[in-house]
Structure 1
Amino acid sequence: MKALLLTLGTRGDVQPFVALARALRQAGHDAVLVAPRRFGEFARAHEVPFAGIADGPMALLDNGSPVGDVADGGLRAKLALARRMPGLFTEVLRDCWTVASAEPGVDVIVHNGQVGAGPHVAEKLGVPAVLALPLPLYVPTGAFPWPGLDLPHGLPGPVNRASYLGMRAAGTMFGRVVDRFRADLGLPRRRGRHDPLRRPDGGAATVLHAVSPQVLPRPGDWPATASVTGYWFLHDAEPGSSRLPPGLAEFLDRGDPPVFVGFGSMSGTDPAATTRVVLEAVRRSGRRAVLGTGWGGLDSAQQSKDVFVAREVPYPVLFPRVSAVVHHGGAGTTAAAAAAGRPQVVCPFVADQPFWGRRMARLGVAPPPVHQRRLTAAGLAEAIERTTALVPAAEDLGRRVRAEQGLAVAVRSLAEISR
């Protein structure tokens, strides 16, 4: 079997696909990762064949348009985003076809939905398309609300199912772009052409959710084509990733386990102010801290004897050694903290991050999420203090998550689909 894996987004969207590509290759299959060019070195470091495409919306993060500006409701930011998105999306679609048309013998397309091209490229090649997701974004259910909206858990089932109508927004925004792309491929217009849950013959497409069933049990009202495999972890996320940054091991050994604070790819509108709030909260809680500055979400000039600052750290190595994980609620960081068995404090910005914050709270491994717009030193310090009582539940969840074999389940599913 040869699988073409198409993904778009941040590292959290790409890393599970690198893990899947490796697992496929270790099982004797062929796999090529198609992702933004910035991740080429990352893929090649893991000996995963790679083909680069445009960054698409990720380019906005590099050109002075922080996610926080849009999330906080700035009209100018939203209008600018709307104007630029179709052109960026068109470039991604065309790049995907350029890559796919040059790859001989593809048996299955695996895509993350937001890359957009997956179902259409698969239809042109005459192979199945499989939707692979780190969160339950497409398949409606009454069990929980659509993660794309900041909705509380516990709503009535019909309300939860209705919330998934939010996924139609992308089809509306990019409908004409996709129509032009299909025309360029010589594909006809068809009903549901923007719906990745539908095959060209009208049947249901296969959907693999790379989520732990311990964290999010499979809803009973999902179709048989939708599954929850378990997380797709890349345990050695970088060459030499078993090594902590210089000085961090010594910092960890010098005292009690610190709190980790990091907001990943989220930069917000005032990282310096956010850092001041975080440091004051840590001081009030009486804890030491490791600050992961990521893409600039926290100020990197704040190191002291009780605060260690690093741009990137290997989560599988660090998280088991911290007392709690304070993070933005990205699917990947949430998964890493759950697997490490550490209590969490989720401080969401946008998108699915509030969903994961509420989910962790329902599981008893985190206090209620503290949204970035309402982040204060007193509130964050209180949340950190509350994690002490959550350690037993977090450790139990970690044991159950680590016992799963999500990648093996996914590989078996893809092998069956491509036969």
Structure 2
Amino acid sequence: MKALILTLGTRGDVQPFVALARGLAAAGHEAVVVAPHRFDSLVRGAGVVFAGIDEGPLRLVDDGPVVGEVAAGGLSAKVALARRMPGMFGRVLDDCWSVASGGLGAGADVVVHNGQVVAGHHVAERLGVPSVLALPIPLYVPTREFPWPGQAVPRLLPRACNRATYLGMKGPAVVFGRTVDRWRDTVLGLPRRRGRHDPLRNPDGSPAPVLHAVSRHVLPRPADWPATAAVTGYWFLHDTGPVAERDPLPAALADFLDAGDPPVFIGFGSMSGPDPAATTATVLAAARRAGVRAVLGTGWGGLTAADSRDVFTTGEVPYERLLPRVAAVVHHGGAGTVAAAVAAGRPQVVCPFVADQPFWGRRMHDLGVATEPLDQRHLDADRLAGAIERAVTDTRLAETAAGLGDRVRAERGVDDAVRRLAGIAGSGARPRPRQR
């Protein structure tokens, strides 16, 4: 089997697919990871075949804390961003087809995609092979058991309304529909058809398989999901080979960890709001008031500070080596960081800002491994200090987090996903589509 894996987003949207590709290779299959060019070293460094595509909307993050400004700017800012987004995807779509048709991805038996890349199920339709939606966040398949994670939903919303909140996933079809239709016509030669923008449906209308790269101990599989929707467990890169041994912690960071009590890790990725300097000042003040040492994760345009006796700043490091050595993890609630913190078995303080982050913040609190979430938009040093103090001193919180970590580490999500993909590809490719 040859799997063409298409993904777009930040590191948390790419690294799980690198793990999947390594798992496929270990099982004797071929895999090509297609992601923005900036992830070349991450993918190739793990020994995985890589094909780069245009950066697309990631350029917004490079230009500064744009996502934070949009989240804080209300409806007008969101509308302005939505108008800019389609124009950023033309090259992404073309690059995906170039890789799939004549590049490193040619001859694929199955297309695995994360939805954000938009091209995935259309490329599979053109190739006449199965399309598999693979998600670290349960965004697409409606359920009564929890509301749509893509946006903060009022806590008091009646359970009966949960399924209706998934109408939020109609947004991409509205925003990108014209761009995708034009590409389908002029590049793929595919006709318009009903449901063409829905990755949950195959071209013949049957349900497409969905793999959720989430632990069942963190988010049990909803009883009302269709049989085609699976929860495999997390896809951890360190579960698929000796990556950690080749990628140790920087010596200076290791020395800082050894120099005193376990510090608190504080990192918000690129989600530190429209004023990263103010957010940095808040978290440093909170760490001082809580009396803890801190490792500060800088992220894209995020937190930054000068190193001192009690503060160490770092860029990207292997979380599987760092987080087990900290007293608690303070983070924004991104799915990848949640997974790493859970697997490390450490208590958490979640400071959500936008998108799925409030969902994970509530989930971590409900599981008893995190303090009450603190909205990052209204973060203040006193409240954060109080949450940090509880996270590092509450023995029940620590015991619950350690127990959840044990259960999550015992899973083998990549192996489960590889078995499922082999079965999907082995069931036979779809008939070749009708073209214009």
**Residue from 390, 395, 398 that aligns with 2:402:** 395
Q: Which amino acid aligns with 1:400?
A: R
1:212 and 1:226 map into 2 onto residues whose CA distance is: 14
Counterpart for residue 83 of structure 1: 83
Q: Does structure 2 conserve the Cα–Cα contact (< 8 Å) formed by 1:192 and 1:198?
A: yes
CA 1:316–1:64 in structure 2 vs 1: closer, same or farther (change >3 Å)? closer
Structure 1: stretches of 5+ with no match in the other structure: none
Cα deviation code 1:168-207 (max 9, x no counterpart): 0111111111111211211111111110000001000000
1:367 and 1:104 map into 2 onto residues whose CA distance is: 48
The answer as to 2:374 corresponding to 1:370 is: yes
Counterpart for residue 404 of structure 1: 411
Q: CA deviation at 1:209?
A: 0.2
Counterpart for residue 198 of structure 1: 201
CA 1:318–1:397 in structure 2 vs 1: closer, same or farther (change >3 Å)? same
1:318 and 1:13 map into 2 onto residues whose CA distance is: 20
Which of 265-274 and 374-383 deviates more? Answer: 265-274
Give the TM-score of the pair, scaled to structure 2. Answer: 0.93
1:105 and 1:242 map into 2 onto residues whose CA distance is: 33
Percent identity between the two aligned chains: 69
Counterpart for residue 334 of structure 1: 338
**Residue from 216, 226, 237 that aligns with 1:223:** 226
1:242 and 1:65 map into 2 onto residues whose CA distance is: 29
CA 1:75–1:163 in structure 2 vs 1: closer, same or farther (change >3 Å)? closer
SS at match of 2:73: coil
2:156 and 2:410 map into 1 onto residues whose CA distance is: 28
SS at match of 1:212: coil
Task: Map 1:277-288; keep pairs closer than 5 Å.
Answer: 277-288=282-293
Q: Does structure 2 conserve the Cα–Cα contact (< 8 Å) formed by 1:267 and 1:297?
A: yes
Cα deviation code 1:14-45 (max 9, x no counterpart): 00011101110111000000000111121111
Give the TM-score of the pair, scaled to structure 1. Answer: 0.96
2:418 and 2:361 map into 1 onto residues whose CA distance is: 29
Task: Map 1:234-313; keep pairs closer than 5 Å.
Answer: 234-235=237-238, 242-301=247-306, 303-313=307-317
Which of 220-229 and 70-79 deviates more? Answer: 70-79
Cα deviation code 1:275-333 (max 9, x no counterpart): 111011111111111111121311232x1111111122221011111110000101010
Q: Does structure 1 conserve the Cα–Cα contact (< 8 Å) formed by 2:65 and 2:301?
A: no
The answer as to 2:416 corresponding to 1:413 is: no
Counterpart for residue 326 of structure 2: 322
1:255 and 1:35 map into 2 onto residues whose CA distance is: 40
1:75 and 1:299 map into 2 onto residues whose CA distance is: 29
SS at match of 2:89: helix
CA 1:108–1:153 in structure 2 vs 1: closer, same or farther (change >3 Å)? farther
CA 1:30–1:156 in structure 2 vs 1: closer, same or farther (change >3 Å)? same
Counterpart for residue 429 of structure 2: none
Q: CA deviation at 1:157?
A: 3.0
Task: Map 1:9-408; keep pairs closer than 5 Å.
Answer: 9-64=9-64, 66-73=66-73, 77-102=77-102, 103-152=105-154, 155-184=157-186, 185-235=188-238, 242-301=247-306, 303-387=307-391, 388-389=393-394, 390-408=397-415
Q: Does structure 2 conserve the Cα–Cα contact (< 8 Å) formed by 1:207 and 1:227?
A: yes
RMSD in angstroms over aligned alpha carbons?
1.6
User: How many equivalent residue pairs?
Assistant: 418
2:298 and 2:112 map into 1 onto residues whose CA distance is: 32
Q: CA deviation at 1:166?
A: 0.5
CA 1:116–1:15 in structure 2 vs 1: closer, same or farther (change >3 Å)? same
Q: Does structure 2 conserve the Cα–Cα contact (< 8 Å) formed by 1:145 and 1:153?
A: no
Q: Which amino acid aligns with 2:93?
A: L
Q: Does structure 2 conserve the Cα–Cα contact (< 8 Å) formed by 1:237 and 1:314?
A: no
2:263 and 2:309 map into 1 onto residues whose CA distance is: 12
Q: Does structure 2 conserve the Cα–Cα contact (< 8 Å) formed by 1:66 and 1:267?
A: no
SS at match of 2:123: helix
CA 1:79–1:218 in structure 2 vs 1: closer, same or farther (change >3 Å)? closer
1:241 and 1:311 map into 2 onto residues whose CA distance is: 17
CA 1:116–1:355 in structure 2 vs 1: closer, same or farther (change >3 Å)? same
Q: CA deviation at 1:241?
A: 5.2
SS at match of 2:251: coil
Q: Does structure 1 conserve the Cα–Cα contact (< 8 Å) formed by 2:7 and 2:14?
A: yes
Q: CA deviation at 1:95?
A: 1.1
Structure 2: stretches of 5+ with no match in the other structure: 427-436
Q: Which amino acid aligns with 1:352?
A: D
SS at match of 1:281: helix
Q: Does structure 2 conserve the Cα–Cα contact (< 8 Å) formed by 1:45 and 1:239?
A: no
2:280 and 2:45 map into 1 onto residues whose CA distance is: 32
Counterpart for residue 432 of structure 2: none
Q: Does structure 2 conserve the Cα–Cα contact (< 8 Å) formed by 1:145 and 1:152?
A: no
CA 1:256–1:399 in structure 2 vs 1: closer, same or farther (change >3 Å)? same
Q: CA deviation at 1:237?
A: 9.3
